[in-house]
Amino acid sequence: MTGAPLLDVTDLTVSLPHPDGSRLFAVRDLNLRVGAGQIAGLAGESGSGKSITSLALMGLLPDGAKVSGSAMFEGRDLLSMSARDRAALRGRQMAMIFQDPMTALHPMLSIGRQMTEHYRHHFATTQAKAMRRAEEMLDLVRIPDPRGALKRSPHQFSGGMRQRIAIAMALCCEPTLIIADEPTTALDVTVQAGILRLFERLRGELDLSVLLITHDLGVMSAVADRVSVMYAGRLVEGGARADVLTRPRHPYTHGLLNALPGAGGSGGMQTIPGLPPSIATHPPGCAFHPRCPFCAPSCKVDTPPLVAISDDRRIACPIDPLAPKKVTAS
């Protein structure tokens, strides 16, 4: 990555209140960078803290959540700025796309009304100008007959088209960063591929940066430049996509890849035994140790830090059982 990253998250920690008065840590010491024009992937099983991370960055955490660390975005720390400054950024310089486009779209209002409201709020401008912008954005995401689409309501579109509209809406105010939380999970595979190609095209055309959150490493391998993998609230591995996905070094990443259809030598789908822990029962030491085939005694005690193993690659596993073996001349 050249120059300062667009988003630079350092030691992000998020805790949520437990009914018994204690705190539950959904995210711990997370470090993440998204460069300008980059698609950075954040992966991990259900409950690993991906959505809480995105909500922390957007300033949309539930009541009672506590957050620490820093998240520098265009030179300002998102985590320490006032609620007012945060709201001014949201939907403008940074926008979010959710798994279910209906979260972003009001079911009863026309697409035109919804798309222009945002734009007019952030750029004091006329309705006619806002409508032109909305039409351009619908055209950009390849909605057929964009002008006609502005008059229709969300239920008149298919799920894939609704997701394209939600993306167009997010793009209206020319954000530099989009956080997309499982944007294709609800869609069938062909539609999913279309949406992923759309992100790739927009990144190229608009120099857009995307933090792409998904539990699906298949989706990641299609578009992400970089991949970070989370387990039980912590990052366990990060690096360039090709490196991480073809030569995983953390046993968890390795397990996730083996569970993909068609992976490995035996037809793939070798699921990792056991289940990810719930937020209330994160095990001591390395949270993955109860499921790890390479678990050593120290893994049950010490929480492994994320360590750089090369310029561009980090893992949180001191055992490093998947490191390439040194060939020694005999």
Name the residues that contact ligand ATP, by CB under 6 A.
16, 24, 26, 44, 46-52, 62, 215, 278-279
Task: For 260-327, give the DSSP string.
Answer: SBT-TTTTB--PPSS-PPPGGGPPSSSTTGGG-TT--GGGGTPPPPPEEEETTEEES-SS-TTSPPPP
Query: Closest distance between ligand ATP and the C-beta of residue 198, in Å?
Result: 22
What is the rounded CA–CA span in Å between residue 38 and residue 23? 34
**Which among Mg ion, ligand ATP, none contacts residue 47 (Cβ within 5 to 8 A by kind)?**
ligand ATP
Query: Closest distance between Mg ion and the C-beta of residue 152, in Å?
Result: 29
What is the rounded CA–CA span in Å between residue 239 and residue 229? 9
Q: Is 230 exposed, middle or buried (0-12, 13-18, 19+ CB in 10 A)?
A: buried
Structure tokens at 23: 């705190």
Q: Give whichever of 158 and 278 is closer to ligand ATP, judged by the CB atom.
A: 278
Q: At residue 227, what is the residue type?
A: V
Query: Closest distance between Mg ion and the C-beta of residue 144, in Å?
Result: 31
Question: Which residue's beta carbon is nearest to the bound Mg ion?
Answer: 51
**Which among Mg ion, ligand ATP, none contacts residue 322 (Cβ within 5 to 8 A by kind)?**
none
Count of residues touching Mg ion (by CB under 5 A): 2
Q: Which residues, 281 to 310, sit near Mg ion by CB under 5 A? A: none
Report the C-alpha dihedral over residues 259, 261, 263, 269, rounded to 10 degrees: 40
Q: Give whichever of 117 and 216 is closer to Mg ion, judged by the CB atom.
A: 216
Q: Give whichever of 166 and 230 is closer to ligand ATP, judged by the CB atom.
A: 230
Q: Give whichever of 56 and 141 is closer to ligand ATP, judged by the CB atom.
A: 56
Q: Give whichever of 61 and 191 is closer to ligand ATP, judged by the CB atom.
A: 61
Which of 15, 51, 184, 209 binds Mg ion (CB under 5 A)? It is: 51
Non-local (6+) Cβ contacts of 231 within 8 A are 44, 45, 48, 252, 276, 287, 288
Query: Closest distance between ligand ATP and the C-beta of residue 17, in Å?
Result: 7
Q: Give whichever of 16 and 259 is closer to ligand ATP, judged by the CB atom.
A: 16
Query: Closest distance between ligand ATP and the C-beta of residue 270, in Å?
Result: 20
Residue 31 Cα distances to 42, 248, 253, 288, angstroms: 11, 19, 17, 19
Query: Closest distance between ligand ATP and the C-beta of residue 325, in Å?
Result: 33
Check residue 68 and report its DSSP letter: E
Structure tokens at 130: 């806002």
Contacting residues toward Mg ion, per CB under 5 A: 50-51
